[in-house]
């Protein structure tokens, strides 16, 4: 579980960096490069969380519901970071399309988990 924790720290560092002074808003802003970055960051983090939650053997509920917990945690973390950007990070603003990109990335992470590992049920331990 060290990798997802380290990645979460990297995410918050990236979120806290000053943004460029150039801002523009257009109806297609959700297709900009930064949205791809948001989606990629959260896809990787959700994938790492899901793998870590499946492999851990301390909390059965998290182990059994690893994909759901990974997505919910990822969505909550993305929401909190967007709030922090608006309230505390200098020269940063909250953007609803960033939340959409984060959520999309989380779902992509689960998609990759299923592509790599296949059926989740085969990893659920019954000997807790």
- The domain limits of the chain are 35-123
Angstrom distance (rounded) from CA 65 to CA 11: 24
Q: Report whether 101 contacts 35 (CB < 8 A).
A: yes
* Cα angle value 105/111/115 (rounded, 5°): 140
For the stretch 71-117, pLDDT in tens is 999 999 999 988 887 777 666 667 788 899 999 999 999 999 999 88
With a threshold of 0.85, does the pTM exceed it? no
């Amino acid at each position: 579980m060290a990798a997802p924790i380290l990645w979460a720290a990297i995410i918050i560092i990236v979120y806290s960096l000053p943004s460029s002074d150039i801002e523009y808003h257009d109806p297609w802003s959700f297709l900009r490069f930064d949205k791809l970055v948001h989606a990629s960051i959260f896809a990787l983090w959700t994938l790492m969380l899901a793998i870590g939650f499946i492999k851990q053997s301390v909390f059965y509920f998290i182990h059994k519901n690893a994909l759901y917990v990974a997505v919910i945690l990822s969505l909550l973390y993305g929401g909190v970071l967007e709030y922090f950007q608006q309230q505390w990070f200098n020269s940063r603003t909250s953007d609803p399309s960033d939340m959409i990109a984060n959520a999309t990335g989380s779902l992509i992470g689960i998609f990759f988990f299923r592509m790599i590992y296949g059926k989740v049920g085969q990893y659920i331990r019954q000997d807790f």
